[in-house]
Amino acid sequence: MEEDLKKWLKNAKKIAVLGIGNVYRKDDGVGSLTIQKLEEYSLPENVKLFNCETVPENFTYAVRSFNPTHIILVDSALLNQKPGTVKLVSPEKIGGITVSTHTLPLTFLVKYFEEFIGAKTVLVAIQPKNVDFGFGLTFEVEKTLKNLVKVLVRIFKNYG
């Protein structure tokens, strides 16, 4: 995934990362928790983090004001894979997967970003194990979160 994301970010000028998910539903919170972990690092000014939780549509103005060339959405998604599996999902394939517990389909959000901002958008989708009510990630998704944060920090350091 790291190499694919590096290729996708080729020519990126400004990168917005949106973490999406419900931290009260175990693994569904992985997107939001990814942003919380990334906030612990000193990232370049051209990388902006948005912890959208379950309402990514509420962040459209802030993202538009940042005017990114590339937008990365991080969310749990039913990929029919082993828990913790990570996939890059292109905009045209987002509609074919079940994503998180938020109400607005990500396809609408992606369409907005593409039409009004002109930004390239991709989903970093993580297969959850458990999205029941409760706190904390399962072991598999926690391990994925730690690895994903390392990968993203490594990649973002090259865009400063």
Q: How far is 10 from 7, CA to CA, in rounded Å? A: 5
Residue type (1 letter), 35: I
- Give the strand pairing for 120-126 and 86-89: antiparallel
Structural domains counted in the chain:
1
Q: Can you give the residue range of the structural domain that contains 155?
A: 2-159
pTM more than 0.85:
yes
CATH of the domain at 150: 3.40.50.1450
**pLDDT per residue over 33-71, tens digit each?**
999 999 999 999 999 999 999 999 999 999 999 999 999
Compute the C-alpha angle 140/145/146, nearest 5°.
100
Q: How far is 56 from 77, CA to CA, in rounded Å? A: 15
**pLDDT per residue over 74-131, tens digit each?**
999 999 999 999 999 998 888 766 555 555 678 888 999 999 999 999 999 999 999 9
